[in-house]
Amino acid sequence: MYVDRKHRLWPWLILTAAAVLAVLILWQLAAAASGRDMEEESIAALREAVERSARQCYVVEGFYPPSLEYLEENYGLQINTDEFRVYYDIFASNIAPAVQVLSRQQE
């Protein structure tokens, strides 16, 4: 029985296309995961910078700063407000503030 060359080629073409598609999907998933990891690292770094600045203020001045603006004006803290929202909750000047950083992309 004679099998036409075209008929033998189709399964290989379909398998090749499926493999290329699978590689592209895996690449997209890896890129998305990498982006999430970088965002999480940026959030953690900003939270640490705010906490570190607040501790420095406490050591130098004897009180935790009353606001983020105080840290920005007096301790050089810089916050990218286009990308992040920072919640700075101070209860008393002798108790460390609660700091929470959220990405604006999650909103």
pLDDT tens digits, 25-57? 888 877 776 667 788 888 999 999 999 999 999
77, 50 in Cβ contact below 8 A?
yes
* Residue 58 CB contacts under 8 Å (≥ 6 apart), including other chains: 64, 96
Mapped onto helix, strand or coil, the DSSP state of residue 13 is helix
pLDDT tens digits, 63-74? 999 999 999 999
